[in-house]
Structure 1
Amino acid sequence: MSEKTPRLERLRSVREWLVWQLRRTDETIAELERLEAAADRAARTQPPAPPGWKLAMQRPGGRPTPDAVHTSDCGMTGTHTKPLTREQALRAITEEGITACPYCRPDTDLGVL
């Protein structure tokens, strides 16, 4: 603004800009609060994370027997699986002699080489 503009007019212009800026700030705060509340609701309603490992079961003669340990995201498991905790998967590979899937390599994730 030039020096010829009266001081009162300049102050009113600044005030209008500040009111506009405050309104935009309030809208941004409200939007961020809505997003945060939605994220909190989603986090509370999410199902628990699946176990990190699963045991594929064979059904020779109709009786299920353990076949191989897989990571939870392996697509080579077939239809019959049982979820395993880390400790169960580790025990299955090291103590029970169940093989580890050669594709997803759960033994590497478990630290068994």
Structure 2
Amino acid sequence: MSEKVSRLERLRSVREWLAWQLRRTDQTIAELERQEVMAARAARTLPPPPPGWKLAMQRAGGKATPDSVHASECSMAGKHTKPLTRDQALRALTEDDVAPCPYCRPDTDLGVL
């Protein structure tokens, strides 16, 4: 009892399927374009994170004294550190004569030469 499907009917079925695929492709393209717009907008509106600094402390005789100023991501600071703002790091380098780290060079980022 199998009916023979005409060539015209088969082509109409293929056309319907292709139209469905085209709609899905258009939807995917629209979603990806929306994501790109949102990512570009976020990149424009979010300022880059401010660089941070830290003060390495040297322990001698139970007393902690400032040893050196480091960039926040520097691993040469050791265990005993104190976070610093930009102004505090500048003051430590210029007024308190704390040495800058020779590896991460926070004085260069802060404009102290």
With normalisation by structure 2, the TM-score equals: 0.66
Rounded Cα–Cα distance in structure 2 between residues aligned with 1:102 and 1:81: 16
Contact 1:56–1:68 (CA under 8 A) maintained in structure 2: yes
Unmatched tracts of structure 1, length 5 or more: 40-48
In structure 2, the partner of 1:91 is 91
> Cα distance 1:92–1:104, how it changes in 2: closer, same or farther (>3 A)?
same
Return the letter of the residue paired with 1:17: L
In structure 2, the partner of 1:101 is 101
Unmatched tracts of structure 2, length 5 or more: 1-6, 40-48
C-alpha displacement at 1:21, in angstroms? Answer: 2.1
C-alpha displacement at 1:67, in angstroms? Answer: 0.6
Identity in percent: 60
Aligned residues: 94
C-alpha displacement at 1:74, in angstroms? Answer: 1.2
Contact 1:51–1:84 (CA under 8 A) maintained in structure 2: no
Rounded Cα–Cα distance in structure 2 between residues aligned with 1:70 and 1:94: 14
CA RMSD of aligned residues (A): 3.1
Rounded Cα–Cα distance in structure 1 between residues aligned with 2:19 and 2:50: 51
Rounded Cα–Cα distance in structure 2 between residues aligned with 1:53 and 1:101: 11
With normalisation by structure 1, the TM-score equals: 0.66
